[in-house]
Amino acid sequence: MLDSHPKQGLYDPRNEHDACGVGFIANIKGLKSNDIIRRGLEILVNLDHRGAVGADPLVGDGAGCLIQMPDALLRDWATSKGHVLPPPGRYAVAMCFLPRGDVARDFAVRLFARYVAAEGLTLLAWRDVPIDTTGLGARVLEAMPVIRQAIIAAGPAIKDQDQFERKLLATRKQILNNLSSLAQKNDLPGLRELYCPSFSSRTVVYKGLLLAPQVGTFYTDLANPLTVSALALVHQRFSTNTFPSWRLAHPYRFLAHNGEINTVRGNVNWMYARRHAMASDLLGPDLDKMWPLIPHGQSDTACLDNALELLLAGGYSLAHAMMVLIPEAWSGNPLMDPERRAFYEYHAALMEPWDGPAAIAFTDGRQIGATLDRNGLRPARYVITDDDHVILASEAGVLPVPDERILHKWRLQPGKMLLIDLEEGRIIDDADIKQQLATEHPYGQWLSASQIKLEDLADPAAAPLDAPTHASENRRCCVSSRRSATRARICNSSSNRWRCKAMTRSGRWAPTRQSPCSRAARACYTTTSSRTSPRSPTRRSTRSARRW
């Protein structure tokens, strides 16, 4: 069975990695058409050689396409079924892979409806996604889930689309995160097959255990003239150390990825370590409903996608979140301006870099872009045409474009970003993006006010034996003067590893009960804000402090 596998023998799902072909096409002015989708699928077909197949040539590692919400298509369907859809932005589509077994599937549908209602949303209807299985291999059909779309309306308490997206995230997390325990409790192993490739009011993902040429024929929605989009993000998967499955195909909910995230184990561990230090005014109590933020048994790309969606839900812009997750090589770079270096150093204490080699294309349905990690070992080339289209892919020539129609062509460089804002109708240059974000707040001043580096302290061994150790000064690095409910900071950066313990005369690290840190109870965790200036130390639970 081509399905998700538990840990067995030498196989461990934590070693899931991807090395694939990725690409997108977007209309800079945000003009939607079915031609964008058609050309996106053509890019996918031309990246077919970057995917993998098994001994059975009809079994690949997966492929897919992400588009904007096909509102006209869904309204036409709703009219034919007697349903009334709310205005765009007030309803969402959950693309669902449901269990194959009838009993498990009925349980999953009831579970879905229960959590949707519990979060104040309305489940309007289920839509059977039209598919054409012609040409699919027998083993692919054997593992194919039941594919349906849940149409969900926003409740009256939801004020805007951003709040709706946060509520959808909390709903999806609660549905999916408890499947293993529910499957065991109810003796329904098939319940674990439930998966949501997308769950949004802005985008829909069509993907599966398909070959690149099969995506456009399998999902007949994509060929429907009513299905229009200003972007199409496509991906052909070549997995390493994995078993192929429907859920591991790309794109994920916000990104598609070529390469590997080789730091993923540490990244995930740090996310778990921050659990008791995280808080958000935007998410509020919904944050506690989302754990685990990064479930076990996922590929590296799925883990990165989970981290990205958390930052977006917490109020970060798309470009800001990607710069935090995948920073440039900033430490010791004499050519980087001080403001940008301070930006990266400040955020290095919030999030460890998700290092590749990796080329990542990302979108939230309003903006679309791509970036290379600081290693720069995965190709990404793009062209800008005179009819306001941007075409980016893992290689040049994925779409035939006459030379006279090309305004600009180039490649992504290490740590650089290409961003297209479809609402503003413009391409935002890498330098402009980072200059704007780096100067938005006085990161350099915040660093100076909150950091004490070990190399700046006096050597304790040089002090007289009867001299005080000044432990409170040594531990002052733990105290920060920034407050926010949306971001948490660890006193720890990639260039300087601070400790919450003071050096005693014997030369051993020992906790100092007299220091301000023990009273502030930060346990190295402090909060920061991108919107406020330094203030008084924030409150943290004493439970976290006792660890130190």
Burial annotation 165-196 (CB, 10 A radius, 16+ → b, else e): bbbbbbbbbbbbeebbeebeeeebebbbbbbb
Phi-psi region of 297 (alpha: psi -120 to 50; beta: other; left: phi over 0): left
Distance of CA 380 to the CA centre of its chain: 19
User: Checking DSSP bridges between strand 426-428 and strand 122-128, what pairing results, if any?
Assistant: unpaired
The whole-angstrom separation of Cα 339 and Cα 440 is 10
Active site residue 491: no
Alpha-carbon distance values, 300 to 43, 293, 306, 343 (Å):
24, 14, 10, 26
User: Checking DSSP bridges between strand 146-153 and strand 122-128, what pairing results, if any?
Assistant: antiparallel
Question: Which residue, chain included where needed, has tokens 């740090």?
Answer: 270
The whole-angstrom separation of Cα 67 and Cα 490 is 37
How many beta carbons lie within 10 A of that of residue 444, not counting itself? 16
* Catalytic-labelled residue, pool 20, 96, 196, 491: 20
DSSP characters for 441-497? Answer: S-HHHHHHHH---GGGSPPGGGS-TTS---HHHHTGGG------SS-EEES--SS--
Distance of CA 358 to the CA centre of its chain: 14
Side-chain-side CA neighbours of 256 within 13 Å: the count stands at: 34
The whole-angstrom separation of Cα 492 and Cα 498 is 6
The whole-angstrom separation of Cα 350 and Cα 264 is 16
Give the three-state DSSP class for 101.
coil
| Catalytic residue numbers, as ranges | 20
